[in-house]
Structure 1
């Protein structure tokens, strides 16, 4: 038994960090050469992985996908191990979605990415919810889908994502779909965001202005937009030009119709 335990310690010494998983990480060893070390322990690593060791499954998945640690790149084997690791682990499903979205170690495939993000989001993973919200709001699905974007940003906001709450303000205030527009809800959320410590930047006041405009309160929209402009450092930037254009619309008692974030 002692020999098995010691071998497991040596094997864990070869595991590298999985930055895409945030807190879930495994560290690389400096005591042996990973290029040769894994080859001598591969059978043991795969045995542990087959028996359900999530760290081993993640390690093998990334090693085979990237062709690292002495293993030849093999996307099929890489996905085999990542899919095993993804069982009951929504954050791993999000990682797989990220890999398909990035198109670096796997072919870029947005359909696959959304499929994995949806699975992860349905299991409660907040980053996956944010990805889905951005996907539907951007029009990448073929057209701007405020309904699904709002759905997932709401879920993410309930899970603690402040940025998702900001996105909800903008969508409720500016969505082209009149059924989804809700100026009063946008204004309520905008004020909630501004009540949080560390908020109150140019974007927050830009959102507040859009919410006031959606409620028909153009005087307050103008005041908030001027505040937003005053918080921008570069008056020659594209962002400054957009903010100025919005101010002109509010001065003409016009609202914004754009779901784009």
Structure 2
């Protein structure tokens, strides 16, 4: 085995065997601590990262951002390495989006989060699609954008996200943009969700009721909403009150126009 490969195995094992993105092994000794190994081999680690080792790039990116494993926090260096790791890796782009969204090791920046999520989603990353759908549906981008929310939830649902299909039911049934409302599609999706194993909770019946109401089937909407309420605990506070309010609307043959998810 070439000497460089032997050294790489030693360094990789020392760092990644004891550390997973900043979490150290509970009983590492001083001489075997990740800080000791990383600082003593930092030049080698950075050389491997520069030559394209994605694991090393990811590790250095998180270590510099968090100021962990013996390295002083340096956001510029951290982003430098994460951006290198993100090339051709949409899941790393999603990770960067998460960091900007959470605002813990990087300043909270929704514009940057959406930018990175969009890049990842365009490369097929389903979690990024879900995050984009939530951003547009919640109004976190400045205002509710049903069109983009529906677009990304559809992509995520096609990628296997059941929660995105649930969100589509609500948006198609209640979106305040008449161009995006589609009661028939909402009802079809609501029934598809309820046909899946592990579904049928209060939220699923709440969605079904909204879909029936969007189709003008208010008697069935009332029945579905009563089922949803029956599955809630009254101690569920605001959610219980919201469900009751929707029931009253359906009893008065009124539909819902929701501002957001």
What TM bracket, shorter-length normalisation? over 0.9
Per-residue deviation, 1:255: 0.2
Q: Confirm or deny: 8 A CA contact 2:110 2:141 kept in the other structure.
A: no
- Larger mean CA deviation between 192-201 and 65-74 belongs to 65-74
Q: Which residue of 2 aligns with 1:156?
A: 156
Q: Which residue of 1 aligns with 2:15?
A: 14
- Counterpart contact for 1:14–1:27, Cα < 8 Å: no
Moved more, 130-139 or 28-37: 28-37
In the alignment, is the contact (CA less than 8 A) between 1:166 and 1:204 conserved in 2? yes
Tell me, yes or no, if the aligned pair for 1:146 and 1:259 is still in contact at 8 Å: no
State the partner residue of 1:100: 100
Any stretches of 5+ residues in structure 1 without a counterpart? 20-25
- Contact 2:111–2:141 (CA under 8 A) maintained in structure 1: no
Q: Distance in 2 between matches of 1:259 and 1:209?
A: 17
8 A contact 2:146–2:175 mirrored in 1: yes
CA 1:98–1:63 in 2, change beyond 3 Å: closer, same or farther? same
Give 3-state SS (helix, strand or coil) of 2:15's partner: coil
Indicate the residue corresponding to 1:109 in structure 2.
109
List runs of 5+ in structure 2 lacking aligned partners: none
Q: Give the corresponding residue for 2:139.
A: 139
Shift of 1:260: 1.5
In the alignment, is the contact (CA less than 8 A) between 1:171 and 1:259 conserved in 2?
A: no
Deviations, residues 174-200 of structure 1 (Å, cap 9, x unaligned): 000000000000000000000000000
| CA deviation map 1:114-149 (0-9, x unaligned) | 100000000000111011101111112221110000
Show CA shifts across 1:35-92 (max 9, x none).
Answer: 2221110111111111111000000000010111111111111000000000000000
2:99 and 2:257 mapped to 1: Cα distance?
33
In 1, Cα distance between the equivalents of 2:196 and 2:177?
29
Structure 1 CA distance, aligned partners of 2:114 and 2:25?
31
Higher alpha-carbon deviation: 149-158 or 232-241? 232-241
| 1:4 CA displacement | 2.5
Q: Tell me the CA shift for residue 9 of structure 1.
A: 2.1
Aligned residues: 255
User: What residue in structure 2 maps to residue 224 of structure 1?
Assistant: 224
Normalised TM-score (structure 1): 0.94
**1:10 CA drift (Å):** 2.2
Q: For the aligned residues, what is the CA RMSD?
A: 1.7
Partner residue in 2 for 1:62: 62
- Secondary structure at 1:14 match in 2: helix
1:3, distance to aligned residue in structure 2 (A) = 3.4
Give TM-score scaled by structure 2 length.
0.94
The alpha-carbon distance between structure 1 residues 49 and 64, as it changes in their structure 2 partners (threshold 3 A), is same
| Secondary structure of the structure 1 residue equivalent to 2:163 | helix
Rounded to whole Å, the distance in 2 between the matches of 1:129 and 1:157 is 9
> How far is the alpha carbon of 1:11 from its aligned partner?
1.4
CA distance in 2, matches of 1:17, 1:256: 46
Q: Any idea what SS the aligned residue of 2:48 has?
A: helix
- Structure 1 residues 52 and 18 mapped into 2: Cα distance closer, same or farther (>3 Å)? same
Over 3 Å counting, the alpha-carbon distance change for 1:158 and 1:259 in structure 2 is: farther
